[in-house]
Amino acid sequence: MRAHTRIDHFAVAAACRANPGEWQPVGEYNSPQSAYGVAAYISTADTKKDRQRSAYEPAGSFEARRTLTEFGVWLEARYVGLSSDAAWADAVAELLGGA
């Protein structure tokens, strides 16, 4: 079993935003439960504390995938944006006559 390396989730999220749609490494987790929890955090941007800021906001704008490895579970994330992003909102407004 390997020692856990601390993950800088703000750096991971920044790399994802800089490369939309491309999978970026998050890290390797010793247990599937830990990897599952982090994958859920990435997808939902839900934090344990009300005042804590998530690196993966807004909720639903990131995806995570897990792969089993010899030592545990490898986790990757990617930025997928939201259907309510600026380009989508502009297109809908144009269809509605600029409303």
Distance from C-alpha of 61 to C-alpha of 5, rounded to nearest angstrom: 25
CA–centroid distance for 91 within its chain: 26
The reply to whether 4 falls in a domain is no
The reply to whether 1 falls in a domain is no
pLDDT tens-digit map of 28-50:
999 999 999 999 999 998 877 77
Per-residue confidence at 52, pLDDT binned at 50, 70, 90?
confident
The reply to whether 49 falls in a domain is yes
> The domain containing residue 87 runs over which residues?
9-95
Does the N-terminal peptide bond of residue 58 adopt cis geometry, omega within 30 degrees of 0? Answer: yes
Distance from C-alpha of 19 to C-alpha of 80, rounded to nearest angstrom: 10
pLDDT given at position 36: 95
State pTM to two decimals. 0.75
The reply to whether 59 falls in a domain is yes
Per-residue confidence at 93, pLDDT binned at 50, 70, 90?
low
The reply to whether 50 falls in a domain is yes
Query: Which H or E run contains 90?
Result: helix 86-95
* Spatial contact of 64 and 75, defined as CB atoms under 8 Å apart: yes
pLDDT tens-digit map of 53-85:
899 999 899 999 999 999 999 999 999 987 555
Domains contained in the chain, number: 1
